[in-house]
Chains A and B, each alone.
Chain A
Amino acid sequence: MKTQTRAVVIGGGIAGCSTLYHLTQEGWTDVVLVERNELTSGTTWHSAAQVTNFGGTQTMVGLKSHSIKLYKELADDPDYPINYHHADGGIRLTNDPKQMEGYRHFASVAKGMGADFEIIDAEECARRHPLVSTQNLLGGLWDPLDGDIDPAQLCQALARRARKAGAEVYRHTPVTGLTQHKDDSWTVHTDKGDIDCEVVINACGYRVNEVGAMMGVEHPVASMEHQYFLTDDIKDIAEADHRMPLLRCPISDYYCRQEKNGLLVGFYEQDCKTWGMDGIDPDFVNALCPDDLDRVMDVLAGAFERMPALEEAGIRSIVNGPITYTIDGAPLVGPIPGKRNAFCIIGLRAGLGEGGGHGWLLAQQIVHGEAQYDTWVIDPRRFTGHATVELTALKSIEDYQNEFRFHFPHEHRPAGRNAKTTPITPVLAAEGAEFGVVNGWERIAYVKPSSDFTETHSFQFNETFDVVTKEIEAVQASVGMTELNGFNRFEITGTGARDWLDTIMCSRVPRKIGKVGLTYFLNHKGDVKGEATLANLSEDRIWYGSAAASEYHDMDWLTAHLPEDGSVKIKSLTNEWSILVIAGPKSREVLSAVSRGDWSKAAFPWLSVREAYIGIAPAVVMSVSFSGELAYEIHVPSHQLYAAYLALKEAGAAHDMKLFGSHAVESMRLEKGYRHWKADLITEFNPFESVLDRFIKMDKPDFIGKTALEAQIKRGPRRKFVTLVLDCTHAPAHGGDSILAPDGRCIGTITSGEWGHRTGQNIAMGFVDPDFDTIGQALSVEVIGAPVGAQVVTPDLYDPNYEKIRA
């Protein structure tokens, strides 16, 4: 056994085998996999092993396309062929027109990644799957490449290729401990000896937190028991001249696929059960849980109705085993928060289908620092302090119960709510606030016009449209208030702080005390990594503000580049402070009424910062605006937030100040061309492609990514960021929708879309082929799958001369 290697992958299921193989493909061949038992002896062993191309985001579709391509190549290898039913096709059924709209949207998302889905009606579903009844069926989404694969053969094939490339696999080698050294390298202790390495990777499936504990980490992963059964031969299948396509049915929460001449049928029952929360038997290897058909009775009736043949079929065997889940249904693939040189590929609930792609993107991150797609949707750092296993268990149960029911736009489900709140969350609730969840934070979405107001979640505009119109009217006419809680906030201190930030940011870092600046930073490839508002509180004290979900991500990046002499220090104040925003032409009057000092335009112009009191509460006030109106961000420590809120509310009464929420903010920021991190700002594009030109200072001596960016400029843009106005009123564009050239070719992707209530326009943002970014260019956008006319416009649709913000 090696005692020294570059990377040690812990775990020999699909996640570990795929990671090991892809590390060798990305250039690291001196790598090792250790497995406590045999390869494929955990969840991978009892997986139903479906390989779909369907995904909710382009990254998910792209990584699944990689799985499919790779598995096909492995299956076709004459030296070690594996059983892969490639391209049997699959149907996601529905009886709900709103879900059908979702399928149309997801088909458009997939189109941008070269995956060709089809929307089919009920009769066509039954034609393609002769066992399906069209009763209570509207139709479905057809995925032509859907299929299934033999899990053990797949893992062996990946391990075999990895070994051929130089990797080593040690079976029956349990890890007993992990030690990290001062230089951030690791020693992996096993019962067969120690292995020193640069990087460790946790790929431990349901044992994720046994290895997590060895490095002092609690991963937000929980396991759910999941049952499927195999039927005896079914005559219609045995006699059919084609294999049956896969089915996934949100009407009655089951899936099925052909297995031999019968079916494999799995259930997502409401009466579901977590597994292993209080520890897992060390001998639970190639093992199953006792089956419990009583739990799935609620689903069976619907399954029989959809597929009468199931009623007659004998049940050959029942399989009940644990599958890992996370808070949002997507796995955790990437750097382990708070650790250096430690990565994970965990929480894969559809590991066989996705594993090929996840291992690929993880290996790219390990070897190159960044994957070829923006991997935020699977980044372990997307959850911060609230992500405990208890919250994960609640969300896992909810996710399991809704397995095939995707989230609609703005839909936030009830489990595990109030994970992060501020003292005024209940106060806003009493005012009628409806909340959305941003990285666990309950953030006001809008104020319900009446206590019995309910919203129909949809890809179209819904009942909230008029509510948001009114909130924005109040802001525009006078003044509105909202809480921007969870906004990420670091305090950066030290005499060298500003000079150091200058090496991180590709933008100009504000020099003057009392000034605020918007800055961007790049990765080493020259692509956009993040966005931060820097506020100079004093000579050696800077506040760094960024998106609510970015806390761990940004902290990870900044601390990795801190000067070694300790001259710069960073502290997170994210949880200790919150922000009250007042916006609108009367906001200065409200502020002046509650805070002593001169708040005039001359004394406190746009992009200023000052420490002050709001009533009796100490605060940091910034004259910045995400709405395009005159506005102030008032940062207040949590324990005095309520006092500040009351003072502002009282002062606002004179101006009929109303609350507004994040939906109104979303509309207003699109009218101003302001971007959202990880929607419009993604690490797949450089800042010039992202049209952030005015924020990029190429004349600075150096900053991270500058050399790579210079090379990128020479090569020319891959895509260009554009603002579009759509010619429709029924629905906004949604992130992932395809943008089409006049000849119908897919030439881009939407990143954001919302109605502009002040401009009366349906606004969208996105990236397009550079040939199509001219102002006035006519394009079309697939809105809910149907092309709608669109035009490229100048980004500042509202107040282009900044007269309101600077008023």
Chain B
Amino acid sequence: MKALVPVKRVIDYNVKVRVKANGSGVDLTNTKMSMNPFDEIAVEEAMRLKEAGFVSEVVVVTIGVAKSEEVLRSGLAMGADRAILIETTDDVNIDIEPLAVAKLLAKVVAQEGSGLVLAGKQAIDNDINATGQMLAELLGWGQATSASEVVITNEAARVTREVDGGLQVVNVTLPAIVTCDLRLNEPRYASLPNIMKAKKKPLERKTPADFGVDTAPRLKILNTQEPATRAAGQILGSVAELAAKLKEVGAV
């Protein structure tokens, strides 16, 4: 069974996000970019399934600007066998929307004959959490989202999901889509020799036109703004003062 892992290049989670002065979006010039952390978890899970013998080949795919090749190389450095780069745009500010991504992925799944798609549950840049679900619908496959444990048995995947107040276990028949949550695994760090080897692994370059998919955005961003800055705190001298203060602001 071949596994397909879609990955996305996003602003690094360590970097302070800067909103452009004109509110048109986030400033990405000269900013550190990395693989979406949930996608790293998906790559790790795919690698573990391959090491356990359930998966024969791991293919990573991304959709975005040419520089997205970097995140594919990160996936390859973690151990993926091949990569596909679908170059959609030259403009880093254009975020390809989930439906377009899902349509492209559906075509890739068909081309590759994948039996399992392991994806991050959502990207940390737009937090939409929709691609996996849309892809399931387009393919007519079963889906298990927000996985915290994946066990492959014969023709199905038993997936544990963390839901409010507990765990839910679902069985999905393969082929299926599984989206990965934070506690599924701890992704490995690639070693330097593997990072270097990754540079030589096969990477196929495509465009949306090759798949006949229109990636034009359907959403229009009206405004982007930073969260309100936190007001300065106050150091109080005693518990009594604290109690008075809490009363004063109506907190007790």
Which residues from chain A sit less than 8 Å from chain B, CB to CB?
231-232, 281, 283-291, 293-294, 297, 300, 304, 310-317, 320
Contact of A284 among B14, B30, B33 (CB under 8 A): B30
Contact with A along B11-38 (1 / 0, CB 8 A): 0101110100000000101111100000
- A291 closest partner in B (C-beta): B32
Residues from chain A with a CB closer than 8 A to the CB of B192 are: 300, 304, 310-311, 313, 315
Chain A nearest CB, measured from B36 CB (Å): 15
Interface size of B as a range: 20 to 34
**10 nearest A-B residue pairs (beta carbon):** A314-B189, A283-B18, A288-B32, A232-B189, A286-B16, A315-B189, A316-B189, A311-B193, A290-B32, A314-B191
What would 10 A/B residue contacts be, using CB atoms closer than 8 Å?
A: A281-B29, A284-B30, A285-B18, A286-B15, A287-B15, A288-B31, A290-B32, A294-B199, A304-B192, A315-B190
Chain A nearest CB, measured from B180 CB (Å): 19
Which residues from chain B sit less than 8 Å from chain A, CB to CB?
12, 14-16, 18, 27, 29-33, 188-193, 195-196, 199
Chain B nearest CB, measured from A514 CB (Å): 64
Contact of B191 among A287, A290, A312 (CB under 8 A): A312
Q: Does B16 contact A314, Cβ atoms closer than 8 Å?
A: no
Q: Does A285 contact B16, Cβ atoms closer than 8 Å?
A: yes
Residues from chain B with a CB closer than 8 A to the CB of A232 are: 189
Residues from chain A with a CB closer than 8 A to the CB of B191 are: 311-315
C-alpha spacing A285/B18, complex, angstroms: 9
Given A231-B189, A288-B15: A315 in contact with B32 (beta carbons within 8 A): no
Q: Which of B18, B33, B188, B199 has the most CB of A within 10 A?
A: B18
Q: Which of A286, A287, A313 has the most CB of B within 10 A?
A: A287
Q: Does B32 contact A293, Cβ atoms closer than 8 Å?
A: no
Q: Does A314 contact B32, Cβ atoms closer than 8 Å?
A: no
C-alpha spacing A132/B14, complex, angstroms: 32
Chain A nearest CB, measured from B208 CB (Å): 25
Chain B nearest CB, measured from A288 CB (Å): 4
- A311 closest partner in B (C-beta): B193
Residues from chain A with a CB closer than 8 A to the CB of B33 are: 290
- B33 closest partner in A (C-beta): A290
C-alpha spacing A286/B31, complex, angstroms: 11
Residues from chain A with a CB closer than 8 A to the CB of B16 are: 285-287
Q: Does B190 contact A288, Cβ atoms closer than 8 Å?
A: no
Q: Does B189 contact A290, Cβ atoms closer than 8 Å?
A: no
C-alpha spacing A174/B18, complex, angstroms: 17
C-alpha spacing A182/B13, complex, angstroms: 50
C-alpha spacing A289/B31, complex, angstroms: 6
Chain A nearest CB, measured from B141 CB (Å): 33
Chain A nearest CB, measured from B16 CB (Å): 5
Chain A nearest CB, measured from B221 CB (Å): 19
Given A287-B18, A304-B192, 11 more contacts at CB 8 Å? Answer: A281-B27, A287-B30, A289-B32, A290-B30, A293-B195, A313-B191, A313-B192, A314-B188, A314-B190, A315-B195, A320-B32
C-alpha spacing A304/B15, complex, angstroms: 30
Given A314-B190, A315-B189, A316-B189: A287 in contact with B31 (beta carbons within 8 A): yes
Residues from chain A with a CB closer than 8 A to the CB of B14 are: 288, 317
Chain B nearest CB, measured from A311 CB (Å): 5
Chain B nearest CB, measured from A466 CB (Å): 49
C-alpha spacing A748/B232, complex, angstroms: 55
Residues from chain A with a CB closer than 8 A to the CB of B195 are: 293, 315
Chain A nearest CB, measured from B105 CB (Å): 26
C-alpha spacing A317/B195, complex, angstroms: 12
C-alpha spacing A294/B196, complex, angstroms: 9
Residues from chain B with a CB closer than 8 A to the CB of A288 are: 12, 14-15, 31-32
- B77 closest partner in A (C-beta): A315
Residues from chain B with a CB closer than 8 A to the CB of A311 are: 191-193
Residues from chain B with a CB closer than 8 A to the CB of A286 are: 15-16
- B73 closest partner in A (C-beta): A293
- A265 closest partner in B (C-beta): B192
Q: Which of B12, B14, B33, B189 has the most CB of A within 10 A?
A: B189
Chain A nearest CB, measured from B50 CB (Å): 18
Residues from chain B with a CB closer than 8 A to the CB of A231 are: 189
Q: Does A290 contact B31, Cβ atoms closer than 8 Å?
A: yes
Residues from chain B with a CB closer than 8 A to the CB of A310 are: 192
Residues from chain B with a CB closer than 8 A to the CB of A294 are: 199
C-alpha spacing A617/B27, complex, angstroms: 62
Residues from chain A with a CB closer than 8 A to the CB of B30 are: 281, 284, 287, 289-290
C-alpha spacing A285/B31, complex, angstroms: 11
Chain B nearest CB, measured from A12 CB (Å): 16
Q: Does B27 contact A283, Cβ atoms closer than 8 Å?
A: yes
Chain A nearest CB, measured from B124 CB (Å): 16
C-alpha spacing A312/B191, complex, angstroms: 6
- A320 closest partner in B (C-beta): B32
Chain B nearest CB, measured from A255 CB (Å): 16
Contact of B196 among A289, A297, A312 (CB under 8 A): A297
Residues from chain B with a CB closer than 8 A to the CB of A312 are: 191
Residues from chain B with a CB closer than 8 A to the CB of A316 are: 189
Chain B nearest CB, measured from A495 CB (Å): 60
Residues from chain A with a CB closer than 8 A to the CB of B193 are: 304, 311
Chain B nearest CB, measured from A296 CB (Å): 9
C-alpha spacing A287/B14, complex, angstroms: 9
- A288 closest partner in B (C-beta): B32
C-alpha spacing A231/B30, complex, angstroms: 24
C-alpha spacing A602/B239, complex, angstroms: 95
Residues from chain A with a CB closer than 8 A to the CB of B190 are: 314-315
C-alpha spacing A316/B18, complex, angstroms: 24
Chain B nearest CB, measured from A724 CB (Å): 52
- A296 closest partner in B (C-beta): B192
C-alpha spacing A289/B14, complex, angstroms: 12
C-alpha spacing A293/B192, complex, angstroms: 9
- A310 closest partner in B (C-beta): B192
Residues from chain B with a CB closer than 8 A to the CB of A300 are: 192, 196
Residues from chain B with a CB closer than 8 A to the CB of A320 are: 32
Residues from chain B with a CB closer than 8 A to the CB of A317 are: 14
Chain B nearest CB, measured from A338 CB (Å): 33
- A230 closest partner in B (C-beta): B189
Chain B nearest CB, measured from A413 CB (Å): 30
C-alpha spacing A227/B30, complex, angstroms: 15
C-alpha spacing A507/B174, complex, angstroms: 97
Chain A nearest CB, measured from B79 CB (Å): 12
C-alpha spacing A536/B12, complex, angstroms: 68
C-alpha spacing A283/B26, complex, angstroms: 11
Chain B nearest CB, measured from A262 CB (Å): 9
Residues from chain B with a CB closer than 8 A to the CB of A291 are: 32
C-alpha spacing A313/B193, complex, angstroms: 9
C-alpha spacing A152/B29, complex, angstroms: 26
- A293 closest partner in B (C-beta): B195
Chain B nearest CB, measured from A377 CB (Å): 34
- A262 closest partner in B (C-beta): B189
Q: Which of B18, B32, B199 has the most CB of A within 10 A?
A: B32
Residues from chain B with a CB closer than 8 A to the CB of A285 are: 16, 18
C-alpha spacing A148/B16, complex, angstroms: 25
C-alpha spacing A544/B15, complex, angstroms: 56
C-alpha spacing A291/B192, complex, angstroms: 14
C-alpha spacing A311/B29, complex, angstroms: 32
Residues from chain B with a CB closer than 8 A to the CB of A290 are: 30-33
C-alpha spacing A23/B18, complex, angstroms: 35
Q: Which of B27, B29, B191, B193 has the most CB of A within 10 A?
A: B191
- A318 closest partner in B (C-beta): B32
- A312 closest partner in B (C-beta): B191
C-alpha spacing A54/B246, complex, angstroms: 54
C-alpha spacing A494/B191, complex, angstroms: 73
Chain A nearest CB, measured from B145 CB (Å): 28
- A314 closest partner in B (C-beta): B189
C-alpha spacing A17/B189, complex, angstroms: 36
Chain A nearest CB, measured from B99 CB (Å): 29
